[in-house]
């Protein structure tokens, strides 16, 4: 398997119920400065009960286009307007 991330495939990441249960596109990705946690979110605002834990491998299988962000450094986030748009990366 050619896994694009430096983190192990079973690394826990955060996503949301919209992506998992409603098949919404991933439009916001962040890589946390302090703990290195990846978040893959739909771009809406969220209540805490809408968060879901997924493995990095699981989110990659769900949407292989996240491979474009595999080298996103800690402390950065990326947004896109829709699933066909380019990622816009900024430092948090």
| Interface contacts to Zn ion, rule CB under 5 A | 16, 18, 42, 44
Q: How far is the CB of 43 from Zn ion (least distance, A)?
A: 7
Residue 19 or 56: the one with the smaller Cβ distance to Zn ion is 19
Q: How far is the CB of 30 from Zn ion (least distance, A)?
A: 13
Secondary structure (DSSP) of 17-64: HHHHHS-PPP-EEEE-TTT--EEEE-SS---GGGEEEEEHHHHHHH-G
Residue 42 or 56: the one with the smaller Cβ distance to Zn ion is 42
Q: How far is the CB of 69 from Zn ion (least distance, A)?
A: 17
Whole-angstrom CA distances from 75 to 5, 12, 71, 84 are 16, 17, 12, 24
Residue 26 or 69: the one with the smaller Cβ distance to Zn ion is 26
């Amino acid at each position: 398997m050619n896994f694009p991330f430096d983190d192990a495939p079973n690394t826990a990441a955060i996503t949301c119920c919209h992506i998992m249960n409603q098949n919404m596109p991933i439009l916001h990705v962040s890589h946390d400065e302090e703990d290195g946690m990846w978040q893959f979110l739909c771009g809406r605002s969220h209540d805490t009960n809408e968060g879901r834990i997924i493995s990095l491998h699981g989110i990659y299988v769900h949407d292989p286009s996240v491979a474009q962000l595999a080298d996103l450094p800690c402390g950065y986030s990326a947004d896109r307007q829709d699933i066909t748009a380019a990622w816009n990366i900024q430092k948090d």
